[in-house]
Amino acid sequence: MYVCNCNGIREREARAAIDAGATKPAEIFRRCQAHPRCAKCVCDMRRMIEETRDALRFAAE
C-alpha cells in the first residue's frame, strides 16, 4: 500500500524510515530520496510517526 502516491513511497518504506529515526515527514521524504509534491500524504506520515512514538512510550512504561 502506498503512503505517498506522488513519489511511490510504500507504507513499509515509510515505516523503515521512522524505525531508522525519522521524526517528521520531511525526514521520511529525505530518507526515501523524494520530495513532497501535493503533500496529501503528510497527515498520514505524521499519524504513523505518532503511532510509533506512542507505542515506544507505552513499551517504556
CB atoms within 10 A of CB 1: 5
Sign (positive or negative) of CA dihedral 8, 22, 53, 55: positive
Q: Which of 12, 24, 30, 37 binds ligand FES (CB under 6 A)?
A: 37
Position 43 contacts ligand FES (CB under 6 A): no
State the number of binding residues for ligand FES (CB under 6 A). Answer: 10
48 binds ligand FES (CB under 6 A): no
What contacts 36, CB < 8 A, 6 or more positions away?
Answer: 6, 25, 26, 29, 42
**From 13-21, 32-40, 51-59, span contacting ligand FES (CB under 6 A):** 32-40
Binding site residues, ligand FES, CB under 6 A: 4-7, 36-41
